[in-house]
Chain A
Amino acid sequence: MPRLAGPNLERAKETIGLYPQARSALVPLCHLAQEQDGWLTPEAIEHIAELLGLTPVEVLGTASFYDMLHTDPVGRNLVGICTNIACLLAGAYELMEHAEETLGISAGGTTTDGQFTLEELECAAFCDKAPCVLVNYRFFGPVDNAGFDQIVDDVRAGRLAEDIPSHGTLSRVRREGGLQVPADEVATQRAAADAAKRERGAR
């Protein structure tokens, strides 16, 4: 089933229409598929290829380059701990050890109930609040051991559902409408502007 369906298919087509070339919509469409299914399924990859006029392997070849695109299933919640320099100095590896104990998995693993996947992240640009933790790319920091357990408890109990959508959903704010100005209209304007500039230059 996990092709892009219903409103998601409509959104995919709108997204493709925003770009001068369809292939540019590849990454946004992969995000959309993850929003629908939680990960990038083979069926979604095939469908995205179909929509963009590519082969599935071209889509997979691009998607596999990016850390955020998961071609294998992950938990409903992606818990990431940054361990890069600023977080390292603030005890990120000690926090990671604690997180592994709390969740009963090591970095890269998923809990048996499918609730959490734990990831070791590169710098997430939240360094004044090190060490930082991201749940589905929503930021927390600075986080100590007790704070980490609290976040996990809150997510488990659904107390953060409003702030943290399940894995895959990045922006909940949708673009309103497509492009306003057709390409040929822009081209005409630019040609006129260039002519005016040449005239100013000549004077």
Chain B
Amino acid sequence: MSFLDAPRVVTSRFEYEDSHTLSRFVSTGGYDGLRQALTMTPEEVAAQVDASGIIGRGGAGFPTGRKWSMLRPAPVRYLVINGDESEPATFKDHALITRDPNQLVEGALIAAYAVQATQVFLYVRGEFALGLERVQAALNDAYRQGAVGRDIFGSGFSVDAIVHPGAGAYICGDETALLESLEGKRGFPRVKPPYYPAVTGLYGEPTIVNNVETVSSLPWIINNGGAAFAAMGAPTSTGTRVFALAGDVMRPGNYEIELSKPTFRDLIFAPELGGGLRPGRSLKAIVPGGTSAFWIGPDRLDLHLDQKAVADAGTMLGSGSVVVMDDTQCMVRAAWRISRFYHRESCGQCTPCREGSGWVENILRRIEAGSGHEDDLDVLLDVCDNISPEVSWPSKWPPQQTTICPLGPSIPPAIVSSIGMFRDEYMVHIKDGGCPFD
């Protein structure tokens, strides 16, 4: 069986134009997972999720079952769904939110039952206006169907859910920043310890924060059993995953495929998936897992899409984003734009991130504009080392952190990778006083 034949766990309705409607949802097994879960005990539901081996799909890669098991017993506990997808070139949660909002609501309610949440918050990125409308419509429908609110499907279990809009801040994707934001504050990541919202979360109460794709997988896991999910992929990366493929490929898009078995080459070149590069172009570099990841070159195309394999190769599968860059692209410009992003989005609490992001952006801008100095590359690498000690090329995963949250160590990868792989290109910019791609 090819990895292409694996069942679609979260994108099964994407083939329908009306995938977001209640009628399509209920005619294709909608709420079956929730109904099934409600016939089980909460521990049984959690045990299935644990058995599935699913790793959180937000980017940090924490096992969902383990996260749930860490919940501090308390009379009040919250479930927060993280729909604040903002990692550059990641667009799978956006698609899941707009194209199958009912599945998201169903999955959130399964999770709410498993952890016995007292209230559910569906935090949706503010820019997703259509997504906000569709999740609210799905939730309104769920109330009408008796799938949320008092005595869900006659099970005796009651819980309310609300949709909460974000307002534009990348950092709010960090779970503790998201909780601050949900409390009506600036999105400042919280100082650790306490390390886990499962112990001290929203309003100080135990809180589970789960990603959109993670909870969207729950209906399938409950309907088919955790073992069926774990049978896909490999023990190091079970199930399927939605890869958001972007950049210089013929067919950019969201592709749900089995984890671990396929390689980057399969994802980028298979005719059913990326369809390869444009005619006459050659592959220069790949940004796997979001812009916070170290890049890989054409020599790593046969690396498997497996969390452990990619970490062993010195980078991360992260958010499931994969950006392909071909030989017409300037790597200095790419590294500059990524650095500019972190500069704009740094919350400003920690000096290495707040100051470092600005310095590296300015130096990269200067090099791209043709005013770079020969020692700029050493300065760049030195600043990167101050943000994330011992960061180097070839890269090691995970990077070290000097800041409250991982935004700091997300700054160096693009810079260290581009200098490591394309030092000559930097030198041409500096020696010729301009960008050779202009």
Residues of A within 8 A of B (CB): 18-21, 23-28, 30-31, 52, 61-63, 65-69, 83-86, 88-89, 122-130, 134, 136-139, 170-177, 179-181, 183, 185-187, 189-191, 193-194, 196-197, 200
Contact = CB atoms under 8 A, between A and B. Distances in A.
Contact of B132 (A126, A170, A177): A170
Given A186-B119, A197-B41, 8 more contacts: A21-B184, A65-B187, A66-B168, A66-B169, A128-B244, A128-B254, A134-B127, A175-B136
A24 B123 CA distance: 12
Question: Which one of A88, A177, A197 has the highest number of Cβ atoms from chain B below 10 Å of its Cβ?
Answer: A88
A139 B76 CA distance: 39
A31 B334 contact: no
Contacts of B287: 85
A137 B334 CA distance: 25
A26 B253 CA distance: 35
A30 B287 CA distance: 36
Contacts of A125: 85-86, 90-91, 93-94, 125, 127-128
Contact of A85 (B134, B245, B253, B338): B338
Given A62-B185, A128-B254, A170 B170 contact: no
B156 interface: yes
B84 to A, nearest CB: 10
Contacts of A176: 140, 143
B345 interface: yes
A25 B338 CA distance: 33
B129 A171 contact: yes
Contacts of B432: none
B116 interface: yes
Contacts of B253: 128
B159 interface: yes
B106 interface: no
B247 interface: yes
A137 B94 CA distance: 13
A175 B163 CA distance: 9
B7 interface: no
Contacts of B254: 128
Contact of B136 (A21, A138, A171, A177): A171
Contact of B181 (A27, A85, A127): A27
A172 B345 CA distance: 28
A200 B341 contact: no
A181 B118 CA distance: 10
B interface, how many residues as a size bin? 35 or more
A67 B334 CA distance: 23
B325 A177 contact: no
Contacts of B334: 85, 88-89
B89 A85 contact: yes
A122 B342 CA distance: 10
A193 B113 CA distance: 11
A31 B167 contact: yes
B337 A88 contact: yes
A66 B166 CA distance: 9
Contact of A200 (B41, B130, B156, B162): B41
A91 to B, nearest CB: 11
B137 interface: yes
A67 B165 contact: no
B337 A84 contact: yes
A25 B184 contact: yes
In order of increasing CB-CB distance, the 7 nearest A-B pairs are A67-B168, A26-B184, A66-B167, A180-B149, A23-B184, A68-B168, A127-B246
Given A31-B165, A180-B150, A123 B157 contact: no
26 contacts: A18-B162, A21-B183, A24-B182, A27-B166, A28-B164, A31-B126, A68-B126, A69-B167, A84-B337, A85-B246, A85-B247, A85-B341, A86-B323, A89-B247, A122-B170, A123-B88, A123-B341, A125-B125, A176-B140, A179-B162, A180-B149, A180-B150, A180-B160, A181-B160, A186-B159, A194-B116
Contacts of B247: 85-86, 89, 127
Contacts of A126: 91, 94
A175 B86 contact: no
Contacts of A179: 160, 162
Given A27-B184, A85-B89, A125-B94, A190 B143 contact: no
Given A28-B165, A171-B133, A176-B140, A181 B127 contact: no
B62 interface: no
Contacts of A172: 133
B139 A175 contact: yes
